[in-house]
Chains A and B, each alone.
Chain A
Amino acid sequence: MKELTVISGKGGTGKTSLVAAFAGLAENKVMVDGDVDAADLHLILKPEIKTHQEFKGGRKAVINPVLCTACGQCIELCQFKAISRDYVIDEFSCEGCGVCVHFCPVEAIEFPENICGEWFVSETRFGPFVHAKLGIAEENSGKLITMIRRQAEKLAEERNLGLILIDGPPGIGCPVIAATTGASAVLVVTEPTVSGVHDLERVGDLVRHFKIPAMVCINKFDINLDVADRIEKYCVQEGFELVGKIPYDPIFTEAMIAEKTIIEYSPNGLSEMVRGMWGRIINRMKTI
């Protein structure tokens, strides 16, 4: 079983539109929306939810005001400044470390499990889809991503599907690390802007750090040909295979508004390029 995670360094490069297109092109696969913070793939895949479960991640401390003697111990020990002078815990600052719970001399602090999101297994017109919704302002997006990846792996095994296609989160931190470690390969979607290059270099350092084979697609390459050229040179230098160059085209936005993949919305022209790129990705994946 192979796992391909599509990442971007920066958001808004067209990652999700491309993943949706690949979803329509790939055979025998499970799709995963790993951008649990701002999941968008469902807007195009229109999943029919089959199972739905709560995601519990960590705990949050709560002070019982009846038992609290206002001794000040917890305020002093909390490293996250989460406890106010009137002994109320700010849930947005509490990291769930439990230090206040452990050291409270009168056991006035409760430590219930925190439900921080939900996850779903769905069916779509392109096959099974595992996705999630992190609760607003919740932590643990990395854990939630790891969880849905495991579910997708289970599903792929049960149904004998050879590929897991993951729409990854932006950035280089916890969620991206969770979405890429152990993946067979990543596809980095970038755009030819100075910030695009900067983000590509950061994410390039990351995949090298974790030794994950990387491919690159330059989206909107004709916005700035000089910078696109710089990206190509960077790929050669780093040994990242450049699998596609897609021109800027408002048709991506039109397809999104029509809630269709680009292949469904407009099968010719641009879609041919995306199809060609997918062929190159699959060939590369076979060698990994």
Chain B
Amino acid sequence: MVITIASGKGGTGKTTVGVNMAVSLDKAVRFLDCDVEEPNAHLFLKAVINEQTVVDTFVPEVDFTKCTYCGKCGEICQFNAIAVLKDYVLTFPELCHSCRGCLQVCPEKAVQESSRELGIIEQGRAGHVEFIHGRLRIGEAMSPPLIRAVKERIDKGQINIIDAPPGTSCPVIAALKGADFALLVTEPTPFGLNDLILAVEAVRALKMPLGVVLNRAGNGDSGVQSYLARENIPLLLEIPMDRKIAEAYSRGQMIVDVMPEWKEKFRGLYQKIEGIVNRQGDT
């Protein structure tokens, strides 16, 4: 089972829902923080990290003893990462998408493999939770390849909870792809609703089942509920606006740390998701 938690907008409580659900389950669970620009789940799970891997990606390097400046590498590159001048070839590693087109197209085999660091993956353990996250290198623009590298550590035999980055563009799609279920977290405000609608459209484009958790319930209007009813989207859990929760969060504590009775509710959330996914499998 792979559940990706997304939200359209940031700050809605994605990480809160993810970590609380992970620690509440009484089965083996993997938590994969794919918000590689700003990974935060480790601050709550406090996993002991026992493995660190640097993730690299291909970038070209030109061997000038072989290069004839024919220009073919510059022509194939769609990302302006190679510019061929009269007697020099400029490469812009940070623009490279690692498609290896330049390597393939060079008639002289003058383009060679080099690499740039995308970031690191750390893996560890917090109780019964196997924890994995990626941290994008500062200055690195492209997060999807690092997100894909984190997702290679999904263990299909377990419950996998993926914390996605905010938004609805390529990093989120990279985090959602291949999941069995998309859990969207929102809040009952016009901003929350606006971004929820975008997130729902993204999930529907990927054709996967979805459900919603409403965070900070009671602190806004009823726009989200009417939208969910209209669109026939299940509201799986409501977390009330509670200063106690906000303060616990500010200290790096989880809801179940300060209100252990919520374990049952997060377990219930998982069971509802499992029910929906199993029903999908039957049809």
Contact = CB atoms under 8 A, between A and B. Distances in A.
Q: For B38, B78, B201, which residue has the most chain A Cβ atoms within 10 angstroms?
A: B38
Given A171-B10, A176-B37, 8 more contacts: A79-B58, A102-B76, A103-B104, A136-B201, A170-B10, A172-B138, A173-B141, A198-B43
A176 to B, nearest CB: 8
Interface in B136-159: 136, 138-143
Contact of A10 (B11, B58, B105, B206): B11
B15 A195 contact: yes
Given A38-B168, A195-B40, A10 B104 contact: no
Interface string A8-50: 1111110010000000000000000000011010010000000
17 contacts: A8-B10, A9-B38, A12-B11, A58-B78, A95-B97, A98-B76, A99-B76, A99-B99, A171-B166, A173-B37, A194-B43, A198-B43, A210-B139, A223-B247, A224-B251, A227-B250, A248-B246
A141 B166 CA distance: 13
What's the dominant secondary structure at chain A's contact region?
A: loop
What's the dominant secondary structure at chain B's contact region?
A: loop
A216 interface: no
Closest A-B pairs by Cβ, 7 of them: A12-B11, A11-B10, A97-B99, A37-B167, A171-B37, A224-B250, A194-B252
Contacts, number: 180
A64 interface: no
A40 to B, nearest CB: 5
Contacts of B18: none
A69 interface: no
A249 to B, nearest CB: 12
Interface string A216-257: 000000011001000000000000000000001010010011
A104 interface: no
A176 B169 CA distance: 13
A3 interface: no
Interface stretch (A199-207, A263-271, A279-287): A199-207
Nearest to B253: A194
A128 interface: no
A38 B220 contact: no
B37 A92 contact: no
B166 A137 contact: no
B191 A16 contact: yes
